[in-house]
Amino acid sequence: MNRVELYDTTLRDGTQQEGISLSVEDKLAITERLDELGVDVIEGGYAGANPKDDEYFRRVQSLELKHAVVSAFGNTRRANIDAAADPTLKALLDSGAAVLTLVGKASDYQVRDVLATSLEENLAMIADSVAYLKSQGRRVMFDAEHFFDGYKANSEYALQALKVAMEAGAERVILCDTNGGTLPGEVGRITAEVKAALGDEAQIGIHTHNDTDTAVASAIAAVESGAMQVQGCINGYGERTGNANMVSMIANMKLKMGIDVVSDEQLASLTTLSNYVAEVVNRRPSPFQPYVGTSAFAHKGGLHAAATERSVHSYQHIDPAIVGNANSVVISELAGRGNVVRRIREMGFEDVLDRDDATKIVQHVKDKEALGYSYEVANASLDLLIRRAIPNYEPLFELVDFMVVVENRRRTSFGTGWRTDGKEHPMLSEATVKVSVGHEVRHTAAEGNGPVDALDRALRKALREFYPNVANVRLTDYKVRVVNEGTGTGAAVRVVIESADEREVWYTVGASTNILEASWIALADSLEYWLINNET
Ligand SMILES: [Zn+2]
């Protein structure tokens, strides 16, 4: 079979899922990982729709991607205006993305009843928009929205939408099952019919959603019928119930269909990549996710386990190592000794930390991970963990104690009864922090917009006297997640903090059954990391 192009939309459609929100830093970091995985096209977001995506498109241009190209997503021109005057098309061009993906309607019902324009005008909107972007020297792909529903109702019109896009210069036409209601058999049949109708030169893509729990199956069916591009999201994130899971599609194509979508080495990074993206989007990786879940090759039954010992193929469909998974639970790639040794070398500590030290650090990482920490993304906390193993390491500050008061002030400040003005009154949060710097102790208090903010302010207030530039550090993201579910409010939580100054972004982690303690640990790590790199 021919090569199939991987088009990942985790950063666009993936972020449409409820509860998923990515910072620009997150998006840039995922972009680099997708590139390493061997994805061909990375859809970064909507052009011109929000400042975050604009910033992403600006900054992604300075990443040195090895293989992938970035695409920007946007609508065809509005009805009854000139393409050159359309703001979305202008934003697409301004994004600077190598590929521009236009989404347009391929369903007569959608055109008439939702877009409220004529069938002819919709075709003109597609043709004009593609032709205009092509005339500006860009690669253009066309996402045919509601294609399968449209095809079932009026196949001639749906095909026409594809034809005008191709004639105007779209290099791919992507059949989208936008509402996710089409089953794999139908997707396969219709894709074959489209292929026959458009001829061999047509480069067809497939974009499916998981509303019938068959998104991957439908995409595979389309590939079997001649689609040469698959669109999907890592771990199946995406609008509503999600998009086709890119992780499973890659493994299926490579291992079951003999299509070399990625190299063997890239395939072996699949589990790590899946866990990494889960960590960044702040989701617990599903243990039952095919190929990459911790339970995907777990054998509970003693007989199966014993048989698997004898032969890896006795009760599992592939050798888990091929996709970087393992039979036994590996908490994190960082628990591996090699990674710690490499990091020690990168930090220039190979003379002060020997093999025994490295072994102790690895054990320490494992112990911490058992408590709920994760160092997959918390690079700065890992660096600190290594530094603290150096004999005579002296922290730049140490916590003596802290106290946080959270008060619900629905009463007036005079205590004479409940407020009657009906306004929302924010809770008061105040923190006092006692830290020692060298031989000096500082005791400070600050109010904040919530208890973590109050802690942050009080801590900086104490440190500012010794390190005035600490004011340059910004906390840019705060994520919290329950790590051992099932124990209710007594469960351990993990807090990951993203911090930035004008030069760098770094991540720190804390874990505890007390959310404030977890936050404090991550917060203190963040400032300690910055101080080491800037004040020593
Ligand atoms: Zn979609």
**Terminal-to-terminal C-alpha distance of the chain:** 58
DSSP string, 84-146: GG-HHHHHHHHT--SEEEEEEE--HHIIIIII-S-HHHHHHHHHHHHHHHHHTT-EEEEEEET
CATH of the domain at 119: 3.20.20.70
Answer whether 153's CB lies under 8 Å from 188's CB.
no
For residue 486, how far is its CA from the centre of ligand 1 (angstroms)?
33
User: How far is residue 278's CA from residue 69's CA, in Å, rounded to a whole number?
Assistant: 23
For residue 239, how far is its CA from the centre of ligand 1 (angstroms)?
7
User: How far is residue 199's CA from residue 306's CA, in Å, rounded to a whole number?
Assistant: 53
User: How far is residue 406's CA from residue 519's CA, in Å, rounded to a whole number?
Assistant: 15
Q: At residue 39, what are phi and psi to the nearest 5 degrees?
A: -65, 140
For residue 313, how far is its CA from the centre of ligand 1 (angstroms)?
36
Task: Give me 238's structure tokens.
Answer: 């995406």
Does the residue 156 lie in any domain? yes
User: How far is residue 395's CA from residue 384's CA, in Å, rounded to a whole number?
Assistant: 10
For residue 178, how far is its CA from the centre of ligand 1 (angstroms)?
6
For residue 358, how far is its CA from the centre of ligand 1 (angstroms)?
46
For residue 311, how far is its CA from the centre of ligand 1 (angstroms)?
41
pTM metric for this prediction: 0.75
* Burial tier of 464 (Cβ tally within 10 Å: 0-12, 13-18, 19+): middle
For residue 421, how far is its CA from the centre of ligand 1 (angstroms)?
46
For residue 255, how far is its CA from the centre of ligand 1 (angstroms)?
26
For residue 238, how far is its CA from the centre of ligand 1 (angstroms)?
7
* Burial tier of 392 (Cβ tally within 10 Å: 0-12, 13-18, 19+): exposed
For residue 145, how far is its CA from the centre of ligand 1 (angstroms)?
8
For residue 453, how far is its CA from the centre of ligand 1 (angstroms)?
37
For residue 180, how far is its CA from the centre of ligand 1 (angstroms)?
9
For residue 73, how far is its CA from the centre of ligand 1 (angstroms)?
11
Does the residue 364 lie in any domain? no
Q: What is the pLDDT along the chain (536 residues), one digit of tens a residue?
A: 568 999 999 999 999 999 899 999 999 999 999 999 999 999 999 998 899 999 999 999 999 999 999 999 999 999 999 999 999 999 999 999 999 999 999 999 899 888 889 999 999 999 999 999 999 999 999 999 999 999 999 999 999 999 999 999 999 999 999 999 999 999 999 999 999 999 989 999 999 999 999 999 999 999 999 999 999 999 999 999 999 999 999 999 999 999 999 999 999 999 989 988 998 898 878 889 999 987 888 765 555 656 666 676 777 899 998 998 875 434 455 556 777 888 888 899 989 998 889 889 988 988 888 888 988 778 899 999 999 999 889 899 999 999 999 987 655 554 444 455 555 556 789 999 999 998 899 999 999 988 999 999 999 999 999 999 998 898 888 999 888 665 566 678 999 999 988 777 899 999 999 999 999 999 999 999 999 998 87
Task: Give me 328's structure tokens.
Answer: 């036994």
For residue 213, how far is its CA from the centre of ligand 1 (angstroms)?
15
For residue 369, how far is its CA from the centre of ligand 1 (angstroms)?
36
Which of 512, 510, 536, 534 is CA-nearest to residue 524? 510
Does the residue 468 lie in any domain? no
Does the residue 516 lie in any domain? no
Q: In what order do the strands lie in the sheet with 440-448?
A: 398-407, 428-437, 440-448
- Report residues near ion ligand 1: CB below 5 Å: 13
Specify the DSSP class assigned to residue 254.
I
Position 308 scores a pLDDT of 64
Position 492 scores a pLDDT of 87
For residue 323, how far is its CA from the centre of ligand 1 (angstroms)?
26
* Sequence-ordered list of residues with C-beta below 8 angstroms from that of 156, at least 6 positions apart, any chain: none
For residue 15, how far is its CA from the centre of ligand 1 (angstroms)?
11
Does the residue 79 lie in any domain? yes
For residue 210, how far is its CA from the centre of ligand 1 (angstroms)?
10
Give the residue numbers spanning the domain of 160: 5-262
For residue 243, how far is its CA from the centre of ligand 1 (angstroms)?
7
For residue 12, how far is its CA from the centre of ligand 1 (angstroms)?
9
Domain count of the fold of the chain: 1
3-class DSSP state of 485: coil
* Sequence-ordered list of residues with C-beta below 8 angstroms from that of 245, at least 6 positions apart, any chain: 210, 215, 216, 232, 233, 234, 235, 236, 289, 290
User: How far is residue 316's CA from residue 229's CA, in Å, rounded to a whole number?
Assistant: 29
Position 329 scores a pLDDT of 37
For residue 452, how far is its CA from the centre of ligand 1 (angstroms)?
37
User: How far is residue 177's CA from residue 147's CA, in Å, rounded to a whole number?
Assistant: 6
Angstrom CA distances, 365 to 378, 389, 428, 439, 522, stand at 12, 12, 37, 30, 15
Which of 476, 409, 400 is CA-nearest to residue 437? 400
User: How far is residue 103's CA from residue 74's CA, in Å, rounded to a whole number?
Assistant: 6
Position 331 scores a pLDDT of 41
User: How far is residue 175's CA from residue 143's CA, in Å, rounded to a whole number?
Assistant: 7
3-class DSSP state of 411: strand
Does the residue 48 lie in any domain? yes
For residue 74, how far is its CA from the centre of ligand 1 (angstroms)?
12
Does the residue 278 lie in any domain? no
For residue 84, how far is its CA from the centre of ligand 1 (angstroms)?
26
Does the residue 344 lie in any domain? no
For residue 242, how far is its CA from the centre of ligand 1 (angstroms)?
8
Which of 44, 32, 24 is CA-nearest to residue 96? 44
Residues forming a β-bridge with 42: 8, 70
The dihedral over CA atoms of 147, 150, 155, 158, expressed in degrees to the nearest 10, equals: -50
CA angle 21, 273, 502 (to 5 degrees): 55
For residue 207, how far is its CA from the centre of ligand 1 (angstroms)?
7
Element (H, E) at 462: helix 451-464
For residue 177, how far is its CA from the centre of ligand 1 (angstroms)?
8
For residue 208, how far is its CA from the centre of ligand 1 (angstroms)?
7
Secondary structure of 168-235 as H, E, C letters: HCCCEEEEEECCCCCCHHHHHHHHHHHHHHHCCCCCEEEEEECCCCCHHHHHHHHHHCCCCEEEEEHH
For residue 139, how far is its CA from the centre of ligand 1 (angstroms)?
20
For residue 532, how far is its CA from the centre of ligand 1 (angstroms)?
45
For residue 32, how far is its CA from the centre of ligand 1 (angstroms)?
22
DSSP string, 256-319: IS---SS-HHHHTTHHHHHHHHHHHTT-PPPTT-TTTSTTTT---SHHHHHHHHH-TTSS-SS-
Sign of the dihedral defined by the CA atoms of residues 7, 12, 16, 18, in that order: positive
User: How far is residue 98's CA from residue 92's CA, in Å, rounded to a whole number?
Assistant: 10
Are β-strands 99-105 and 69-75 bridged in parallel, bridged antiparallel, or unpaired?
parallel
For residue 191, how far is its CA from the centre of ligand 1 (angstroms)?
17
